[in-house]
Amino acid sequence: MSLAVVKSRAPAAGRAPEVTVEVHLANGLPSFSIVGLPDLEVRESRERVRAALQNCGLDFPVRRITVNLAPADLPKESGRFDLPIALGILAASGQIPVESLAHREFAGELSLTGALRPMRGAFAMACGTARGAAAIAQGAGTTSHRHPELYLPAASAAEAALVPGVDVFGATDLPSLCAHLSGDADARLSPFAPLPLCADTSAAAPDMADVIGQRGARRALEVAAAGGHHVLMIGPPGAGKSMLAARLPGLLPPMTDDEALTSAALLSASMCGFSPAQWRQRPFRAPHHSSSAAALVGGRNPPRPGEITLAHLGVLFLDELPEFDRHVLETLREPLEAGRITISRAAWQADFPAACQLIAAMNPCPCGWRGDPNGRCRCTPEIAARYLRKLSGPLLDRIDIQIEIPALSPAELSARAAENGEPSAAIAARVQHARERQLTRQGKTNRELDGREVDGVCRPDNAGESLLREAGERFGWSARAYYRVLKVARTIADLAGVDTPNASQIAEAVQYRRVFGAT
């Protein structure tokens, strides 16, 4: 047999599309060619595979070797194709049975000794394998009780085993895997036992009880968590903005199975990777203010996801917001509104999810002390105004809750340090109840409501309507800002268990936009 076919998958933004590795041996001058749009890492597989086979005592055919990675128009990257290429050569040269590769998928980077190194994207690949098997079964109109088999490096198999519907096998080196595929009973590999999907990771998030004072900010974060609203916090250095933001994930409802799988697949395919310890944890991404637009929303060619996608179903924290390049911040407009982002290149287009919750923090002026009673601020009004103008009106329009975080005096810190703040668990229980009301009523969070839905479920009573109209005229709100105040009021009403927002809830929602009221 001079032709072998091995199945694998490519790391493409968590989707892991199927890649067919075709290996053909022919007579002629010895050569080793890889075609199918491989990048440099994949082309270097030739040297790794050659050395690995020879150092493992396996025969490397002295023939004309052609490896095709199909589909040809899909860019291939990373060293994950080392293992399927090596197995294809062994099967085509008759060293392992060709039929042993059927109905199985393989991925892994080879060392020169034949050992299998850990790889990124193992979780995403397992998700792709499970989806592919389900699609085949659905197309055939049958329900198969046999799970597809996925072979990975042993160090990467644990995270892939979290995915249901796939039998994940971990191999330490090429010889042990070849012995398993050849039917050696003494070298039989066993699938990794999947970890339970209901693992409790709520204790991993910092607790809100650690926050001293800041009752207004704590209440604002509770409202934000209940409705999925974006938040901007303005306050002097050391007021607790970063501390509050880090505790927002602990207030959010637990992730569903589908949400946990989606989030883990995105992280797995990224350069940051995914570990089983992160299972069911809401992502919390905090990029530095020197980040580029490509790093924040995605880019490169082919397109890769950015921080806003890696924070999908979690929190994106942007500290020192005005220090970000203005062009970088403006790229956030569409994904904050739509919950998705499409990156287009001349020959490639990718659509990434971006349904995250933005939490931004900033100082009131460049020195940070504007409004300080001790007079420490040295910024002129023009300098402070120019600093605030770094944030455009359209961007601020998309941030539902804008609050001031005052600094606590040493006397307040000393007096309140002995107080026991409300823990995150108690707040999260109220948030969960409010979310359940929203999902039962409209099937989505209040932030995701469109204009027609807002008119249907967020309309306040007569007193609330009058107050809202007066505030909108006074502050000159845009239509978007007007509807966002309605959404926040609807969330406050859900926390109170009220069916119709009243004047009190409208007043609280209006207070959350008074910092930049003109927007």
What's 333's domain CATH number?
3.40.50.300
Please report how many Cα atoms fall inside a 13 Å half-sphere around the Cα of residue 319, on the Cβ side. Answer: 15
Q: For residue 25, is it within any domain?
A: yes
Out of 127, 155, 187, a domain closes at: 187
Name the token pair of 370.
């504007």
Q: Place 495 in a pLDDT band, splitting at 50, 70 and 90.
A: very high
- pLDDT of amino acid 269: 78
Name the token pair of 424.
């995150």
Look at the chain and count its residues.
519
- pLDDT of amino acid 141: 63
Residue 464 sits at φ, ψ, to 5 deg, of -65, -40
Who contacts 414 (Cβ-Cβ below 8 Å, separation ≥6)?
none
Who contacts 295 (Cβ-Cβ below 8 Å, separation ≥6)?
287, 306, 307
Out of 152, 187, 222, a domain closes at: 187
496, containing H or E segment: helix 479-496
pLDDT above 60: residue 197: no
Q: For residue 443, is it within any domain?
A: no
Q: What residue ranges in 266-398 does DSSP mark as E strands?
A: 284-285, 298-299, 304-305, 315-318, 340-344, 349-353, 357-362
Same domain, 209 and 337: yes
Residue 421's SS3 state is coil
- pLDDT of amino acid 519: 42
Q: For residue 263, is it within any domain?
A: yes
Residue 241 Cα distances to 200, 244, 405, 407, 482, angstroms: 27, 5, 7, 10, 26
pLDDT above 70: residue 199: no
Residue 311 Cα distances to 65, 188, 350, 425, angstroms: 43, 40, 17, 22
State how beta strands 116-117 and 104-106 pair: unpaired
- pLDDT of amino acid 78: 86
Of 74, 72, 100, nearest in space to 4 by CA? 100
Same domain, 154 and 26: yes
Q: For residue 427, is it within any domain?
A: no
- Report d(CA 245, CA 403) in Å as an integer: 13
Of 62, 59, 68, nearest in space to 33 by CA? 68
Same domain, 122 and 219: no
DSSP 222-269: HHHHHHT--EEEE--TTSSHHHHHHTSGGGSPPPPHHHHHHHHHHHHH
Name the token pair of 99.
């039929």
Strand partners, 170: 152
Strand partners, 65: 25, 32
Q: For residue 312, is it within any domain?
A: yes
Name the token pair of 480.
């978007």
State how beta strands 18-26 and 104-106 pair: unpaired
Same domain, 390 and 313: yes
CA 352, distance to chain mean position in Å, is 10
Same domain, 260 and 390: yes
Interval 188-212 mean pLDDT: 73
Instruction: Kindly report the CATH number assigned to the domain that includes residue 483.
Output: 1.10.8
Q: Place 253 in a pLDDT band, splitting at 50, 70 and 90.
A: very high
Same domain, 99 and 222: no
What are the residue ranges of helices labelled H in 120-214?
122-140, 154-160, 174-181
Q: For residue 250, is it within any domain?
A: yes
Write out the residue range of the structural domain in which residue 35 sits. 3-187
Of 392, 381, 378, 280, nearest in space to 336 by CA? 392
Same domain, 138 and 267: no
**Would you tell me the crossing angle of helices 479-496 and 462-475 to the nearest 10 degrees?**
140
Instruction: Kindly report the CATH number assigned to the domain that includes residue 33.
Output: 3.30.230.10
Who contacts 89 (Cβ-Cβ below 8 Å, separation ≥6)?
4, 23, 25, 49, 53, 60, 61, 65
Name the token pair of 389.
């103008």
264 close to 274: Cβ distance less than 8 angstroms? yes
Residue tagged 């009752």 (tokens): 215
State how beta strands 18-26 and 64-70 pair: antiparallel
Same domain, 48 and 177: yes
pLDDT above 60: residue 339: yes
Largest separation between any pair of C-alpha atoms in the chain:
88
Name the token pair of 300.
């490169």
Out of 157, 187, 217, a domain closes at: 187
Residue 431 sits at φ, ψ, to 5 deg, of -65, -45
Residue 35 sits at φ, ψ, to 5 deg, of -125, 165
Residue 93 Cα distances to 28, 65, 83, 123, angstroms: 15, 10, 15, 31
- pLDDT of amino acid 290: 93
- Report d(CA 488, CA 479) in Å as an integer: 14
pLDDT above 70: residue 195: no
Q: Which of 12-21, 105-114, 406-415 has the lowest mean pLDDT?
A: 406-415
Strand partners, 350: 343
Q: For residue 194, is it within any domain?
A: no
Residue type, 317: F
Same domain, 404 and 466: no
Of 385, 192, 352, nearest in space to 269 by CA? 352
Of 479, 308, 331, 318, nearest in space to 392 by CA? 331
Structural domains of the chain, count: 3
Interval 6-25 mean pLDDT: 87
Name the token pair of 235.
């306050």
Q: Place 518 in a pLDDT band, splitting at 50, 70 and 90.
A: very low
Same domain, 178 and 32: yes
Q: Place 179 in a pLDDT band, splitting at 50, 70 and 90.
A: very high
Same domain, 339 and 390: yes
Same domain, 80 and 227: no
Q: For residue 464, is it within any domain?
A: yes
451, containing H or E segment: helix 451-457
Residue type, 191: P
Q: How many CB atoms lie within 10 A of CB 358?
A: 23
Q: Place 475 in a pLDDT band, splitting at 50, 70 and 90.
A: confident
pLDDT above 70: residue 102: yes
Mean pLDDT of the chain: 88
